[in-house]
Amino acid sequence: MPSIDLITHNNQAWDQQAKQNSPWSQPVSSELIASARKGDWRIHLTPTPLPQKWLGNIQEKHILCLASAGGQQAPILAAAGAHVTVFDLSAEQLAKDEMVAKRDGLHLKLEQGDMQDLSRFANASFDLIIHPISNQYVPDIETVWKECHRVLKINGTLLASFFNPAIFIADRNPCYAEQGLIKPRYKLPYADLYDLPADELKQKFEQQQAMIFGHSLLNQIQGQLQTGLVLVDYFEEIQPTPRFEIEKYLPSFIATRSQKLV
């Protein structure tokens, strides 16, 4: 792996995305907060709202929104009656949650840090962890799963989503998409730092784009199971606005619901 400070680089990349109001950096409205206070609310791990049965009764529950800042999930959960901690690498993303909390009179605990290190939290701190698509920004997701298991209470639940690894294998040169072709180029697991040619990697750095890791299903699912979590539900979802040719033919998003039984 090239010698870079990956955490600092991805932090800066997400600060930039937050300032540009990317789709995951657009805070919810006061109207949605008001509805959540009345019991009418939804949150997302993928483009479609989560099934309500995945969440259950969250009143007075202690919830960790892991790598999940941006002023979206956490304020809704707090308005619906939960005690919410938001943990994210990006200060600018956390600022979105802080803005909503101040605007709408919500209490959120904001914590900045790397999802691979939850050592500031005691064992069995949370009833529920919400971990939407984000683990592609770190190289070591086994540590993320272990930390999730550790900070969950017995019978606690981890709701996670991530990209289908298959989307990482294809060459993204537009000339192939123009012909309706999918050309395999990369093996799994994928990493920008290892797999991109030097000129393409240099361009990503110069454009301050986040470095990506395409983790295998083995690491995504067995990684959870090996910590002692039990998989209790699962769904896949098609990308509604395909960015790559391969996304027209298979689901881009995978979501898992796992429980800590012991």
**For residues 89 and 115, is the Cβ–Cβ distance under 8 A?**
yes
- Percent share of the chain, pLDDT over 90: 94
Q: Can you give the pLDDT at residue 72?
A: 96
User: Cα angle at 100 between 94 and 101, to 5 degrees?
Assistant: 85
CATH class of 6-166+216-260: alpha beta
**For residues 54 and 233, is the Cβ–Cβ distance under 8 A?**
yes
**For residues 191 and 213, is the Cβ–Cβ distance under 8 A?**
yes
Domain boundaries, the chain: 6-166+216-260
CA distance 7 to 113: 9
**For residues 108 and 78, is the Cβ–Cβ distance under 8 A?**
yes
Q: How crowded is the C-beta side of 110, counted as CA atoms within 13 Å?
A: 20
Q: Where are the beta strands (DSSP E) in the chain?
A: 62-66, 83-88, 108-112, 126-131, 152-163, 190-191, 213-214, 229-237, 253-260
Q: Classify 195 as helix, strand or coil.
A: helix
Q: Classify 196 as helix, strand or coil.
A: coil
CA distance 86 to 238: 27
- Helix 91-104 to helix 30-37 angle (10° resolution) is 60
**For residues 253 and 237, is the Cβ–Cβ distance under 8 A?**
yes
Q: Can you give the pLDDT at residue 172?
A: 87
**For residues 158 and 146, is the Cβ–Cβ distance under 8 A?**
no
Q: Can you give the pLDDT at residue 1?
A: 42
pTM above 0.75, yes or no: yes
**For residues 78 and 101, is the Cβ–Cβ distance under 8 A?**
yes
Q: Can you give the pLDDT at residue 173?
A: 87
pLDDT in tens for each of the 262 residues of the chain? 445 699 999 999 999 999 999 988 999 999 999 999 999 999 999 999 999 999 999 999 999 999 999 999 999 999 999 999 999 999 999 999 999 999 999 999 999 999 999 999 999 999 999 999 999 999 999 999 999 999 999 999 999 999 999 999 999 888 998 899 999 999 999 999 999 999 999 999 999 999 999 999 999 999 999 999 999 999 999 999 999 999 999 999 999 999 999 8
Only one residue has tokens 């539900």, namely 233
